[in-house]
Structure 1
């Protein structure tokens, strides 16, 4: 009887193992065959290819819903509106090619291998591609150092040299100076009938909807800025729109001069990065009646700042950033108009254009961006 009971005990003990052992073996097999870079890791290492993860915003009615890189709902674009009623608009960016020692390191995106300089030029090229694809008959002007060896042979694109200090340490400061000099020159040459609006942006953005409508839909602003709910840097300098009337350009120049003055006197310690954004925030906050609580609501609003009528546009729509910023953790708005590939997202910008070129579906491309948004890539 004792032996019988002992045998049954061994049998009862072994029954769970019959289920557990095969399960452990199957899990081990899955772990062995799982791709090593299937999801972002926590070490901060950058990846050399796109990595898709969960798309934020699932279940929210006003956010893009995705299954992998396939859009499940429709984005809201204005491209089907009549463009011929809109006055001409030109994009302006600051770009400089630095004289660097020979760079033997290369990265490959798609079927193309790039050196460091070639990568920068490829990003500039994609910047132009998105503008000319999504905003037909829109010109692009590149402000650059006269000493820079920059040549761009593209229809509707011109290089505009402006003297200054384009070193990496002073580039953000120089950008404001170049904007001012460019606007001053155009104000001198402008005729009464010649109204051309300007949108000043970083060169690492993708325009995914027609931005000319902001000048039509908001007819009373002199310049427009993008904002986010960030206490230290609520105003982003990567997007500044200027109305092309004499009054609009004049007041925009005055506003930017004030920003430059504050930048030079208060934030030179941050001249390489962020100084311009800190100066912008200071100028806006210096208006006695300005309520900083407006930054918490992602809705456009107007405010008079130092005699200039400023339109504030939410970054979530007009300056949406994959790696950070307002809106990232709540997904991508269905009416997003600009995607800003700041920081380590430059590869994602090139990959997105390659994907769009092969599919011609802007919503699916946005899903690719959204699903890749929290991954650090190799440049």
Structure 2
């Protein structure tokens, strides 16, 4: 009887704890969740200055090895473009426009609680100035790696742009340059440009000018003249990556400058435009061009994922055109942003693509090159900084 009463007494005393313990855990979780949310927010915030991390790919074969910001194993080969026949040349074509309305800038100032400017090195940039700075840096890299090359900028005639740069020419193309139609307009502008080249038949027959269509946020870090020598049979070249849904990237398209190469490249892009407009128009602001490219390629060749898993060039026939597929790892390499698997930078990388918020890194890389004069050391800066999120 005494034991029973003692047990009841203890139970009564412990009863409040039974209800209190879950409450304590709940309070603890409430304190932890804001901390976790804050940590996630801090991780996702973009940095306004260069953040150096470890150089990915250390110890991997055929990858850039860095000691600090010093490249230990990249050897630059002599420029091959200097050895090209005088009757051949490689030109770069990029579409460019600026959105600089006072209303848009005012909205950005309110959203960011600042005046819309960022500082890189000793220079302060507004939003439109940043776009121009990226464009100038794009041209700078070409003039260092391929000084004989011309740059042709496809522009909106209404933009009233001026560009006073050596070997740089504006090529106005009428169209819809609004943000929602920009990627669609890019394909249209490429086709219009190729059509204009076909109209200059006599010039093409006597002088071969190969064309490389790229975004303006890329750095050409090695001579690409070898591309048309090493692969003499392709009409058009695309870059691919190991991505099931979006295996092709439209940021780099090479066109052989013969009449046959230009004509067949134009026909291929017209088919891409048709698929873009009919199947992927809802993605006209972004990704629609890449989805359309993948659809066209898959509809004409036996699509095997194995071909896109190995970073090795291969060719295929599409509607009578010879299409060369080049690995993004070399011809369209992008610094990974944030987390994810990453095995470093290939030693033979030719093109670095500063997509999205990496554009600050593009300007920082050019500033560092100006300071050191070393392309290899600059690549170490990109490699060690590429996983941070910057403010562009």
**TM score, norm. by length of structure 1:** 0.86
Match of 2:83?
A: 83
- 1:67-109, Cα deviation, whole Å (9 max, x unpaired): 2211121245452674343721110000011242163321000
Match of 2:188?
A: 177
- Determine the C-alpha separation between the residues in 2 that align with 1:328 and 1:320: 14
Q: Is the 8 A contact 1:88 1:138 kept in 2?
A: yes
Q: Is the 8 A contact 2:238 2:248 kept in 1?
A: yes
- Determine the C-alpha separation between the residues in 2 that align with 1:270 and 1:75: 42
Match of 2:362?
A: 349
1:371 aligns with 2:384: yes
Match of 1:110?
A: 121
Q: Is the 8 A contact 2:96 2:216 kept in 1?
A: yes
- Determine the C-alpha separation between the residues in 2 that align with 1:164 and 1:294: 36
Match of 1:93?
A: 94
Give the 3-state SS of the residue equivalent to 2:352 in structure 1.
Answer: strand
Give the 3-state SS of the residue equivalent to 2:326 in structure 1.
Answer: strand
Q: Is the 8 A contact 1:321 1:328 kept in 2?
A: no
Superposed counterparts of 1:220-299, under 5 Å: 220-299=233-312
1:139 aligns with 2:140: no
Match of 1:126?
A: 137
- Determine the C-alpha separation between the residues in 2 that align with 1:333 and 1:49: 25
> Alpha carbons of 1:178 and 1:261: their partners in 2 closer, same or farther (altered >3 Å)?
same
Give the 3-state SS of the residue equivalent to 1:224 in structure 2.
Answer: strand
Q: What is the aligned counterpart of 2:321 among 308, 314, 331?
A: 308
Q: What is the aligned counterpart of 2:165 among 135, 143, 154?
A: 154
Give the 3-state SS of the residue equivalent to 1:260 in structure 2.
Answer: helix
Q: Is the 8 A contact 1:97 1:149 kept in 2?
A: no
- Determine the C-alpha separation between the residues in 2 that align with 1:84 and 1:216: 8
- 1:280-328, Cα deviation, whole Å (9 max, x unpaired): 0111111143433200010011111222100000000000000259x97
Give the 3-state SS of the residue equivalent to 1:88 in structure 2.
Answer: strand
Q: What is the aligned counterpart of 1:318 among 331, 340, 343?
A: 331
Give the 3-state SS of the residue equivalent to 1:55 in structure 2.
Answer: coil
Give the 3-state SS of the residue equivalent to 1:286 in structure 2.
Answer: helix
Match of 1:4?
A: none
- Determine the C-alpha separation between the residues in 2 that align with 1:239 and 1:204: 11
> Alpha carbons of 1:84 and 1:328: their partners in 2 closer, same or farther (altered >3 Å)?
farther
- Determine the C-alpha separation between the residues in 2 that align with 1:288 and 1:174: 27
Q: Which structure is larger by alpha-carbon Rg, 1 or 2?
A: 2
Q: Is the 8 A contact 2:138 2:219 kept in 1?
A: yes
- Determine the C-alpha separation between the residues in 1 that align with 2:143 and 2:159: 24
- Determine the C-alpha separation between the residues in 2 that align with 1:251 and 1:339: 27
1:331 aligns with 2:344: yes
The answer for unaligned runs of 5 or more in structure 1 is 1-39
> Alpha carbons of 1:288 and 1:217: their partners in 2 closer, same or farther (altered >3 Å)?
closer
- Determine the C-alpha separation between the residues in 1 that align with 2:81 and 2:266: 31
Length, aligned pairs only: 339
- Determine the C-alpha separation between the residues in 2 that align with 1:273 and 1:290: 24
Give the 3-state SS of the residue equivalent to 2:300 in structure 1.
Answer: coil
**TM score, norm. by length of structure 2:** 0.83
Give the 3-state SS of the residue equivalent to 1:164 in structure 2.
Answer: coil
Range moving further from structure 2, 307-316 or 101-110 = 101-110
- Determine the C-alpha separation between the residues in 2 that align with 1:129 and 1:284: 34
Computed over aligned residues only, the root mean square deviation of the Cα atoms, in angstroms, reads 1.8
Give the 3-state SS of the residue equivalent to 2:379 in structure 1.
Answer: helix
